[in-house]
Chains A and B, each alone.
Chain A
Amino acid sequence: MLGRVANTIYWMNRYLERAENYARFMDVNFNLSLELSPNEEQQWKPLVVITGDWPLYESLHEKAEKNKVINFMAFESENPNSICNCIINARENARAIRPEITKEVWEQINALYYLVKKASEKKRLNDSEVRHFFSDIKNGCQLLYGIYDATISRNEGWNFAKLGQLIERADKTSRVLDVKYHLLLGSAKQVGSSLDLIQWTALLKSVSAYDMYRKKYGKLSSTSIAEFLILDTDFPRSILNCLIRAEQSIVRLCGSSFGYCNNAQRQLGALKAQLEFTDINDIIAKGLHEYLDDIQGKLNDISTAIYEAFFSIEPHVN
């Protein structure tokens, strides 16, 4: 497979995953805002902070307001990570590698593209239109994952797609947990109150984890939630589960599961092993924020290593 093509597939899947994640936690937050007293700044700022785009937001707007945050995260053309731009980029990448995907996958990406195009042409969306938009994006992305799964061969391209999707997902789960956790711990006096409960529920729903968490732990507790989202081996959005499956893909790409064939496999394997043999109490004792920060840094390094190992191969001929 062409290095450029592999790179494009990888990023196409990262963008899609990003758009879907944004749509989900925006939707959850929107829902939450309907039931809480309106402290807009406190309610909406963390969403932008999660994404790492707060400096850009601040350069465009004075403070975090509901409508401005929604617009910034969903439609803002200057925000390279807005849902609109993610979908446009994913579709542009899909166009560039059209022969690698099936007609069904292409048509669904295209459908998403026209969805965001149409929504972004509207001057202003009312509350119910905004919620529809988020759920359309979520549904559209999940439909796409299903079509991808059902029509794409488990070839090299598939493995690069999975790498992109899972690294993005691990990163987003870590960010959601990081910010929410701080927000929640910051209001210690409210622990056990109904507000607290609603926030924890929202955190889980932001990563579609509420149902599976309840099934496993029953009670809501901060430690268990952190454990579930970081270290659970079976939940498909936990960081460890993402890494386990990403490693399977990189093993297939490298051809060997013993040791490593390049830096990407080495770093990915090391991070997975680190989480595999860690206890949640150790993480909390050390500081959850620092721990998540470290994971995010390592995920970035892995992405760079993947680029160097597969996408920019130095031409060499005898």
Chain B
Amino acid sequence: MPKLDFSTYDSKGFYDEMFDENNAVRPNYKLFLERLEKMSLRKLNQLQHATDRSQLSLGMTFNVYNDNQGVERILHLDIIPRIINNKEWNHLEKGLQQRIRALNMFIQDIYNDQNVLKDKIIPKEMVFSSVSYLKELEGFKPPKDVWCHITGSDLIKGGDGQYYVLEDNLRCPSGVSYMLENREILKRTFPELFEKLDVKPVYNYTHILRDTLESLSEVDNPTVVVLTPGTYNSAYFEHSYLAQQMGAELVEGRDLIVKNDIVYMITTHGLQRVDVIYRRVDDDFIDPEVFNKNSLLGTPGLFRAYLKGNVVLVNAPGTGVVDDKAVYAYIPRIIKYYLSEDMILPNVKTYICDEESDRKYVIENIHNLVVKQTDASGGYGMLIGPKSTKAEQQEFIAKIKHKPRNYIAQPMINLSRVPTLTDDTIEGRHVDLRPYALFGDDIKIIPGALTRVALKKGSIVVNSSQGGGSKDTWVLNS
């Protein structure tokens, strides 16, 4: 059986995480490559199939939005890992801590003193017009002044080998269960490599998560629950996984009831008070009394109980302002304003269609840009200029002119690539990186991440809802 051979692997044109431009292996991948080169493609395919089976048996499935009910898919896990050395990781860690600290201060400020608006660092209209801005929260301070307890920022690496933050995801970032389960599966696939490579463990995520949630309540031994929209939600696997790993009750909105501004869950022995809710339901749906009146997922009175301080919601409501893609453009200035530091992890250059000169540039150069809707996520509501038709471009230009506030544009970034197993060979595929941060008493970045990979050749859309897969991410101790 012929062994794997990388002499014809194409590492040109993009930053490749495994090989440099001369096709020489990068130091962090050296041992891994040695292991691969002792294997045949057939053997590697066998390992890949075993991985697929593990995922099915673990029930790591998700329902795709707009898909038929009951259609389940696994998030394809490619067995070739993303490997990050210690130095690179330290840089990421510092950059994320800085960013999250500043963004948390920003959120507290816009709902309270509004200094950042008075000092004209960001136009007030930009903040108040964000669909995620909640007027109801003005004057409110959450426990320990922490709003964004759980963050899963999306990072990418450009052709220059530099990391950029693409999105901050301060609402309900998902995917951490895949980081954890991918690791368990890969430890079975390449057991000997973990020892040799000295990979940092990620298993304590759910312990830190539970500690973080408990630390937010003043009650001794608080009752912590995970609030899920239910089994039809595409991230349900993760909700149940986290509840089970933390030993928390997994509840739906209908399991909760609010009496005298106190939240209870309905148990077989009557009502039991709830202290901390890790909610995986969007702001809009948590309380039909205040937000979406038609929401069947929510619990009437929940928001009132929250404002009274009788229950902690994690993440706090109202953090979505930062996820607004137009607000994103101001983050470098926001970091400078609160911390008097230059940002460590840069933003991607962003054109704000609401500003006239930017809008003009975007319309003239739309064929070279990626246009995004400011309140969308999951790869929806997006135009990739170089890969779009004239008609699609015209459609987006019309949309931008109609509601400029709703659009931003960014240059096309050449996402870095990692070798990925395809049907009959190994080829580079574009990836991004989603590390997870927990903010309780301090900001902890878990040394690992979900690496999302665009499985289709040439594609840069890594979202699971659009044909993306995942990779385990190994952070080395050296």
Residues of A within 8 A of B (CB): 1-6, 92, 95-99, 103, 106-107, 110-111, 114, 156, 253, 310-311, 313, 315-317
Contact = CB atoms under 8 A, between A and B. Distances in A.
A99 B240 contact: yes
Interface residues of B, number: 31
Interface in B237-295: 240-241, 243-244, 247-252, 254-255, 257, 259-260, 262, 264-271
A2 B59 contact: no
Given A2-B249, A95-B236, A114 B56 contact: yes
B249 to A, nearest CB: 6
B57 interface: yes
B231 interface: yes
Contact of A98 (B241, B252, B271): B241
B241 A316 contact: no
A315 B251 contact: no
Contact of B248 (A99, A110, A253): A99
B381 to A, nearest CB: 30
B1 interface: no
Contacts of B57: 107, 110-111, 114
A114 B260 CA distance: 47
Interface in B205-255: 230-231, 236, 240-241, 243-244, 247-252, 254-255
24 contacts: A2-B251, A3-B266, A4-B254, A4-B266, A92-B231, A95-B240, A96-B230, A96-B231, A98-B241, A99-B240, A99-B244, A99-B247, A99-B249, A99-B250, A106-B58, A110-B57, A110-B59, A111-B57, A313-B266, A315-B264, A315-B271, A317-B262, A317-B264, A317-B271
Nearest to A7: B268
A93 to B, nearest CB: 9
A293 to B, nearest CB: 31
Given A95-B240, A111-B57, A315-B259, A3 B249 contact: no
Nearest to A92: B231
Contacts of A1: 267-268
A156 B59 CA distance: 25
A8 B380 CA distance: 35
Contact of A316 (B56, B255, B260, B270): B270
Contacts of B257: 315
A99 B271 contact: no
A98 B268 contact: no
B459 to A, nearest CB: 29
Given A95-B231, A114-B56, 12 more contacts: A1-B268, A5-B250, A95-B236, A97-B250, A98-B243, A99-B247, A103-B58, A110-B56, A313-B266, A313-B267, A317-B259, A317-B271
A6 B266 CA distance: 11
A315 B254 CA distance: 12
B268 A310 contact: yes
A37 to B, nearest CB: 43
A3 B260 contact: no
Contact of A313 (B244, B248, B251, B268): B268
Closest 10 CB pairs of A and B: A99-B244, A98-B240, A317-B259, A99-B243, A310-B268, A99-B250, A6-B268, A315-B257, A2-B255, A107-B57
B59 A106 contact: yes
Nearest to B53: A114
A311 B268 contact: yes
Interface in B135-176: none
B234 to A, nearest CB: 13
A156 B191 CA distance: 39
Contacts of B269: 313
A97 B252 CA distance: 11
A253 to B, nearest CB: 8
Contacts of B264: 315, 317
B268 A107 contact: no
A156 B268 contact: yes
With a 10 A CB-CB cut-off, give which of A6, A99, A253, A311 has the most chain B CB atoms.
A99
Contacts of A5: 249-250
A95 B56 CA distance: 13
A233 B241 CA distance: 41
A56 to B, nearest CB: 21
A316 B267 contact: no
Contact of A4 (B58, B244, B255, B259): B255
A301 B288 CA distance: 36
Nearest to A310: B268
A5 B265 CA distance: 11
Given A99-B248, A313-B270, A317-B259, A2 B231 contact: no
Nearest to A102: B244
A228 B391 CA distance: 78
Contacts of B251: 2
Contacts of A311: 268
Nearest to A110: B59
Contact of B252 (A4, A103, A316): A4
B132 to A, nearest CB: 30
A3 B271 contact: no
Contact of B260 (A2, A103, A317): A317
Contacts of B252: 4
A311 B57 CA distance: 30
Nearest to B57: A107
B267 A3 contact: yes
A107 B231 contact: no
A2 B225 CA distance: 11
Given A95-B59, A95-B240, A315-B259, A2 B270 contact: no
A98 B228 CA distance: 13
Nearest to A255: B269
Given A98-B250, A107-B58, A2 B243 contact: no
A111 B265 CA distance: 32
Contacts of B254: 4
A196 B345 CA distance: 83
B257 to A, nearest CB: 5
Contacts of A99: 240, 243-244, 247-250
A97 B231 CA distance: 10
Given A4-B254, A317-B271, A98 B244 contact: yes
Contacts of A110: 56-59
A88 to B, nearest CB: 9
Nearest to B59: A110
With a 10 A CB-CB cut-off, give which of A2, A92, A111, A313 has the most chain B CB atoms.
A2
Nearest to B242: A99
A315 B300 CA distance: 14
Contacts of A317: 259-260, 262, 264, 271
A2 B56 contact: no
A2 B265 contact: yes
Nearest to B273: A317
A31 to B, nearest CB: 31
Nearest to B225: A2
Contacts of A310: 268
Contacts of A103: 58
A316 B271 contact: yes
